[in-house]
Structure 1
Amino acid sequence: MAAYAAGLGRPVLNGTRAKLERQAVELLAQGLPEAWLCDRAREMAGRGWTDMFRHVEMSKAPITPPAPGRDRSGLPRWCGECGQGTPAARLNPRFRTLGELGTGEKCPRCHPDVVAL
């Protein structure tokens, strides 16, 4: 939201804020890089657009895959497939499981107790 507000040059109205936050959460859960999405949000604001789904779908900007390793939280990067796809798994390793949310086998791709870096 900060990137959109910066591109807009003023605070974001509540209705637009709620819509963009919902869309951003879903796009992050689909595995799109946060920095790439922030760049798209700045572009949208400068053009007066408010539909992140459409802008992302139409964007020609290349997506570079995140480097292997840990993210800013110190956790291994979330694979995006475990935890039933909930974005909470990005920051909470408790959700990085293969069963129902928070239960089952630890994800072999991104759970910090399983992944060796």
Structure 2
Amino acid sequence: MDAYAVALGRPVINGTKAKLHGQAVELLAQGLPEAWLCDRAREMAGRGWTDLVRHAEKSSAPIAPAAPGRSQPGLPEWCGQCGEGSPAARLNPRFRTLGELGSGEKCTACHPDVVTR
């Protein structure tokens, strides 16, 4: 969302913000890297587009392969319990919380700010 707003040069309208957030969670859960999605969001803002799923599906930008067994270098393995069980937490430490997805207390089992690497 931040990448889109910065590229847009103004705050994102609430309806668009909710749509893009939901789409980002969905795409992260499917295993797309956060950095790659941020780049796609920046492209969209410059073109006036608001559908991240559609843009990601049509993108020809290469996706750097992730290291096997790890979602990001140095990121602890996801416990599978936090983040409301959403696979997005496997790839994005911001979702490794004990409350509603992306909010609440950091997971003591796998959040990188809590767990010693």
Match of 1:9 in 2: 9
Unaligned runs of 5+ in 2: 99-117
1-structure distance, mates of 2:57, 2:67: 23
Q: RMSD between aligned alpha carbons? A: 3.1
Identity of paired residues, percent?
Answer: 62
Larger CA Rg, structure 1 vs 2 = 1
Match of 1:50 in 2: 50
Contact conserved, 1:71 with 1:77, CA < 8 A, in 2? no
Residue deviations 1:67-97 (CA, integer Å, cap 9, x gap) = 355737731379xxxx9753234444x9xxx
Match of 2:89 in 1: 88
Q: 1:25 to 1:65 in 2, by over 3 A?
A: same
Unaligned runs of 5+ in 1: 95-117
Give secondary structure in 1 for the equivalent of 2:24: helix
1-structure distance, mates of 2:61, 2:72: 22
Q: TM-score, normalization: structure 2? A: 0.65
Q: 1:11 to 1:86 in 2, by over 3 A?
A: same
1-structure distance, mates of 2:71, 2:62: 22
Q: 1:84 to 1:2 in 2, by over 3 A?
A: closer
Give the letter for the 2:10 counterpart: R
Q: 1:20 to 1:73 in 2, by over 3 A?
A: farther
2-structure distance, mates of 1:87, 1:71: 12
